């Protein structure tokens, strides 16, 4: 294996913070060498006895671990989620305000509270995080090295899926099923989580347990989260724990609640964009709320200027994917200093449908217009890269994601996520892999258990509906797709 330069070694250290050395630990301790697939899958998730040559008592020393880390094998971190490119560092682990000793699952389902590398992980993060402040070029170099090792990790996992471990970095909490929109295709407030809402006590426990499990970022959404009376307290409590809290809202109530959210510690949020005028009215079925998002944004900027980072989430569905609607979104982004993000049509999400008449789904006849739409987005990104969190390869892949849908067989990195619904249900992600319910068991008693470990591996192998959530990370970590979409016209 060729030697790595200083940047790659530093990025490898970042992966050590996330537990990337488990790739080497799992494979070498089970087979004696890297890249020899044996019955690791059964050992990892089905509670079969470990291979005979696994020495349960033998533990690598910190010095031996560091030698393994230097190879760069075993990346698991992601530089692109959650979508906050302006204010947060590239590496989620370095964005965290504190680092916790936690129990890491060993090869066959046990936990090892005496992992000799835990102090080293914390020290590495403490050293690297301040070193990156004010050094965007170094951060970019580390990001590129991090991306390369992430692709290596997923390549190895394609042969040995058992190396995939749950490493929750981002927690998604749907705090309420209530919403003041009736968007076409959305089942919230219709027949999904109707009347369900998490109470503040439950959310506090979830946030405490998530912090202990290693989560760094928390997204609060719904439904419409601003309809929850205790939303500011959730933000305040999570911020005090050192979690990076952000909110996804439709924006219609933002001007009414921004002061209490700001005082609670909210410093960034994302807003759904559904067009304007007649397009907005038809999609949200709320004509009386036309223009409310623009009014809210004007109020927020007047009160807090650029201190609050805001991202506009453009939902790429058939009625909205037009040049006219794109121009409206771009005008809003420029006027109010927003980052423009694209969410893809969710054909397999439990709370979303293609509409009563399938009007949200793209047809083969739409492909030329869709590709022209993406070409325009690419032009805007090249001229104004600071306004876009996305890579060009991801943008080029959009037509394939929304046209091919489940046929896009690219491994998923949902092992980084946890989702909690308004009824307390816990899943790996919002689409699949149920793990329990926080109204019945604490989150700390759910994470890293056998169901969690199996769900992480199964998600990677797409034993699920194969949704379009977080697909940019999937492209970035899948070497063949990254090469394909990095080429001009590579879709």
Q: One digit per residue, pLDDT tens: the chain, 491 residues?
A: 444 444 444 444 444 444 443 443 333 333 333 333 333 333 344 433 333 333 333 333 333 332 332 333 333 334 344 433 333 333 333 333 333 333 333 333 333 333 333 233 334 444 565 566 677 788 778 878 888 998 999 999 999 999 999 999 999 999 999 999 999 988 998 888 999 999 999 999 999 999 999 999 999 999 999 999 999 999 999 999 999 999 999 999 999 999 999 999 999 999 999 999 999 999 999 999 999 999 999 999 999 999 999 999 999 999 999 999 999 999 999 999 999 999 998 778 888 888 888 899 999 999 999 999 999 999 999 999 999 999 999 999 999 999 998 899 999 999 999 999 999 999 999 999 999 999 999 999 999 999 999 999 999 999 999 998 889 999 999 999 999 999 876 65
Reduced to 3 states (helix: H, G, I; strand: E, B; else coil), residue 192 is strand
Closest of 106, 96, 77, 76 to residue 215, by C-alpha:
96
Distance CA 427, CA 292 (A): 33
**C-alpha pair distances (Å), 105 with each of 32, 51, 90, 237, 453:** 20, 17, 26, 28, 9
Q: Which pLDDT does position 342 carry in this prediction? A: 97
**How would you classify the pairing of strands 434-437 and 244-249?**
unpaired
On the CB side of 148, CA atoms within 13 Å amount to 15
pTM: 0.77
């Amino acid at each position: 294996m060729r030697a790595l330069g200083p940047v790659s070694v530093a990025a490898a250290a970042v992966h050590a913070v996330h537990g990337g050395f488990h790739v080497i630990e799992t494979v070498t301790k089970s087979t004696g060498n890297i890249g020899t697939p044996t019955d690791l899958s059964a050992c990892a998730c089905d509670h079969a006895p470990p291979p005979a040559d696994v020495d349960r008592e033998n533990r690598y020393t910190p010095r031996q671990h560091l030698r393994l880390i230097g190879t760069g094998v075993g990346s698991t971190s992601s530089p692109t989620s959650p979508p906050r490119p302006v204010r947060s560092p590239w590496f989620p682990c370095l964005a965290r305000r504190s680092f916790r000793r936690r129990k890491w699952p060993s090869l066959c389902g046990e936990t090892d509270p005496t992992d000799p590398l835990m102090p080293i992980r914390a020290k590495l993060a403490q050293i690297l995080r301040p070193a990156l402040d004010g050094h965007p070029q170094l951060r970019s170099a580390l990001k590129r090295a991090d991306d390369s090792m992430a692709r290596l990790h997923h390549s190895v996992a394609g042969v040995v899926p058992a190396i995939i471990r749950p490493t929750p970095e981002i927690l998604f909490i749907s705090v309420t099923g209530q919403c003041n929109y009736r968007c076409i295709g959305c089942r919230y407030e219709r027949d999904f989580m109707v009347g369900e809402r998490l109470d503040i006590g439950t959310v506090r426990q979830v946030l405490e347990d998530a912090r202990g499990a290693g989560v760094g970022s928390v997204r609060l959404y719904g439904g419409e989260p601003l309809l929850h009376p205790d939303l500011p307290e959730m933000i305040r409590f999570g911020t005090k724990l050192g979690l990076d809290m952000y909110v996804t809202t439709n924006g219609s109530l933002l001007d009414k609640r921004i002061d209490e959210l700001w005082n609670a510690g909210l410093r960034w949020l994302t807003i759904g964009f559904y067009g304007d005028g007649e397009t907005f009215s038809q999609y949200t079925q709320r004509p009386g709320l036309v223009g409310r998002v623009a009014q809210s944004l004007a109020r927020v900027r007047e009160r807090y200027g650029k201190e609050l980072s805001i991202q506009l989430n453009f939902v790429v569905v058939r009625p909205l994917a037009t040049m006219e609607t794109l121009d409206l979104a771009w005008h809003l982004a420029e006027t109010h200093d927003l980052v423009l993000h694209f969410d893809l049509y969710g054909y397999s999400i439990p709370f979303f449908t293609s509409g009563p008449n399938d009007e949200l789904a793209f047809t083969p006849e739409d492909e030329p217009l869709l590709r022209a739409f993406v070409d325009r987005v690419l032009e805007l990104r090249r001229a104004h890269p600071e306004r876009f969190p996305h890579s060009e390869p991801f943008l080029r892949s959009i037509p394939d994601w929304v046209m091919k849908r489940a046929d896009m067989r690219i491994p998923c990195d949902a092992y980084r996520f946890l989702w909690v619904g308004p009824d307390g249900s816990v899943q790996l992600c919002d689409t699949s892999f149920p793990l329990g319910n926080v109204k019945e068991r604490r989150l700390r008693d759910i994470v890293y258990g056998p169901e969690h470990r199996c769900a992480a591996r199964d998600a990677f192998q797409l034993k699920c509906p194969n949704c379009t959530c977080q697909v940019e990370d999937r492209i970035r970590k899948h070497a063949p797709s990254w090469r394909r979409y990095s080429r001009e016209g590579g879709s």
